Amino acid sequence: MLSLNKQLILIFSTIHFLSFAQLDSVKTDLNEIQVNAIRIKVLYRSVAQNVVIITKEQIQNSPARSLQEVLSMVAGVDVRQRGVGGVQADIGIRGGSFEQTLFLLNGVKLTDPQTGHHAMNIPIPLDAIERIEVIKGPSTRVYGQNAFAGAVNIITKLGELTSVVSTLYGADFNSFGGSLYVNIPVKNRLKQAIALSKDVSDGYWYNSDYQVTNLNYEASFRLNAKNELKGVVGYTMRDFGANGYYSKSYPDQWEATKTGTAALTHVFKTEKFTLQSRVYLRTNQDEFRLKKNVPSFYTNRHRSEVKGAELNATYQTKYGITGLGLEARDEAIISSNLGERNRQFIGLFLEHKKTFLNKIDVNLGIHSTRYSTNSWKHFPGIEVGYNLLKSVRSYVNYGLSYRVPTYTELFYVDPTTTSNANLSVEEAKTIDVGLIFSKNAWRMELVYFNRQTTNLIDYVRDTSSISPNPNKWTPKNIGKVNFNGFEFSGKWIPTFKSKVVKLQELAVSYNYIDANVLHQDELESKYALSALHQQFIASMTLELFGKLRLVPVIRHIERMNLNAYTLFDAKLIYQHHPKFKWFVEVSNVFDEDYTEAGYVQMPGRWLKIGVNLRMD
């Protein structure tokens, strides 16, 4: 691997001999996008929830090298990375914990009964993502127990034509990587794509080296005009030094995960009726050591397996659209620490959507569920949208949520942590009230939300004057927590042009969350009292001289009882040919000293340089 200085010389020497061309400034009309993360699918302009869509263009322009980094630039999403490069991160929404967010890949649930720390073991490089849908608020009625505070649906799209997209980059800390995304359609019936990526780094501080490998294959086969088969198989491996991940007493922590996903979906569709059936499998292997080179000192090995089947249908009549579904899932784990465990889940869904006077739409539904470890529970919800004016839409929604404890919370024990097999199910009541203004180049949204949680699970321990605290963390139902907050987001896409500078997009958002946590003051909290409190994000996309694109992003993050910090990232894209572009990314431009999760010191200023090539 060339040193970074040699890479710079090579890149800019090559640029000297290449011709210039206009930057591709194609924009996606968000209002016309169909939101797939909602069971009864609607256009983005008609949603009655707080939904954010991240388009392919925004992902490509973003100064981010991983899905985690892309999500960190979304309003209301709290990303706590343990290092960089997409190794591991905890994702919370609106003050919720990482255990309360559900991830999906093209609608396939990526649940992990061991722990939410593995929720983002997703085998998809950024070049393969068509868009990301972030649903903020209760989604239990649609997806079940893991969507407690929200859900994130990652969507890929198979191409109509043969194409190849490749990316290579080099960076500080002897980091480098690349990805390859190939679409291979066969005639008009079979579409297929292969995506793979590799990221390697020596690490930015002691014991923070990593290797991340992703491989994914997906295909769709149209049987006839009404029937289609879709399949996906993916695999990801992550090997990383885990200094400070879970304890600062053992700087030589190390972890390796191997995650496989597979799903087969059949879709039958007519003008008014849709029936979708799916089977899926997700496996995850996790090896964790407190001392990387001394496995005999303390090593945990876990293997979890989730098998599931779904059946969903929608039918449209003059009375509206009715949706119903059935899901069954088996969650098992074999672990050197947690033991051999197994539980089953069954869920029933029913909802109906009706529009009145072309102005008011109502979506009412219920999710009934039963785990083999719990009795039947029922979670209704309702969303109401009202078009006040052609450019102004209001909405209100209400829903109940729940979450079953993970196997880690129930049974995990190590030198710093103990377990609690008597944990109760988390439950919450959430209400959202929102107002959306969308006209021409402007889109603004203001939303207030309130989430009242009972039996919230948090890791707590007695306080101590000794450092580090010798008392063990113990998961407990700490009582009631009331989350109140509001969010403002605005986006402006101007239409005027200039030969020198063109402002393509300007976006800004602000989040405020207040949590009233009711538990004993003498207990030290690990998660509940460190929820997102204030968040400000601003970004713009500038086109310079018709040849360069500059995307600066500034983020201010303040969590409860933790130090606030401000980060400035930037990306410069130089596209001399419609199919070939160079990019330079600088993370943490002003060298901020900050920590996001655990005891992991995040890197200072970090430079990345790369090239992207597309052939079709």
pLDDT at position 578 is 83
Statement: residue 28 has pLDDT above 60: no
The angle at the Cα of 16, spanning 12 to 19, to the nearest 5 degrees, equals 125
| Distances 613 to 56, 58, 180, 584 between C-alpha atoms, Å | 15, 17, 10, 15
d(CA 382, CA 350): 12
pLDDT at position 8 is 36
pLDDT digits (tens, 9 = 90+) for 589-601: 999 999 998 789 9
pLDDT at position 37 is 61
Statement: residue 259 has pLDDT above 80: yes
pLDDT at position 444 is 96
d(CA 276, CA 268): 6
pLDDT at position 560 is 86
- If one counts every other C-beta atom within 10 angstroms of the C-beta of residue 157, the result is 15
pLDDT at position 370 is 92
For residue 448, give both structure tokens. Answer: 């207030």
The band of 25, judged by pLDDT with boundaries at 50, 70 and 90, is: very low
Residue from 215, 177, 167 nearest 199 by CA? 177
Residue from 519, 506, 488 nearest 58 by CA? 506
| Distances 358 to 385, 387, 430, 494 between C-alpha atoms, Å | 11, 8, 27, 30
Residue from 53, 42, 51 nearest 355 by CA? 42
Once rounded to an integer, what is the mean pLDDT over residues 150-157? 93
Once rounded to an integer, what is the mean pLDDT over residues 162-166? 95
pLDDT digits (tens, 9 = 90+) for 181-216: 999 999 889 999 999 999 999 999 999 999 999 999
pLDDT at position 11 is 36
The band of 27, judged by pLDDT with boundaries at 50, 70 and 90, is: low
pLDDT at position 1 is 39
Once rounded to an integer, what is the mean pLDDT over residues 332-342? 96
d(CA 416, CA 469): 9
d(CA 47, CA 37): 11
For residue 606, give both structure tokens. Answer: 């970090």
pLDDT at position 462 is 84
Please tell me the CATH code under which domain 4-615 is placed. 2.40.170.20
**Which residues partner with 19 through β-bridges?**
none
d(CA 483, CA 40): 28
Statement: residue 39 has pLDDT above 80: no
Q: Is 189 left (phi over 0), alpha (psi -120 to 50) or beta?
A: alpha
Cβ pair 176, 8 in contact under 8 A? no
How many CA atoms does the CB half-sphere of 249 hold within 13 Å? Answer: 12
Statement: residue 431 has pLDDT above 90: yes
pLDDT at position 520 is 54
Cβ pair 450, 434 in contact under 8 A? no
pLDDT at position 528 is 67
pLDDT digits (tens, 9 = 90+) for 361-410: 999 999 999 999 888 989 999 999 999 999 999 999 999 999 999 999 99
Domain ranges of the chain: 4-615
Statement: residue 220 has pLDDT above 90: yes
pLDDT digits (tens, 9 = 90+) for 304-326: 999 999 999 999 999 999 999 99
pLDDT digits (tens, 9 = 90+) for 549-559: 999 999 999 99
Q: Which residues contact 472 (CB under 8 A, 6 or more apart)?
A: 416, 417, 418, 461
Most confident of 16-25, 136-145, 188-197: 188-197
Q: Which residues contact 283 (CB under 8 A, 6 or more apart)?
A: 259, 260, 303, 304, 305, 306
Helix (H, G, I), strand (E, B), or coil: what is residue 595? strand
Q: Which residues contact 562 (CB under 8 A, 6 or more apart)?
A: 530, 595
pLDDT digits (tens, 9 = 90+) for 120-140: 999 999 999 999 999 998 777
Statement: residue 4 has pLDDT above 60: no
Percent of the chain with pLDDT over 70: 93
Mean pLDDT estimate for the chain: 89
d(CA 437, CA 444): 5
The band of 616, judged by pLDDT with boundaries at 50, 70 and 90, is: confident
pLDDT at position 367 is 92
Residue from 70, 65, 16 nearest 171 by CA? 65
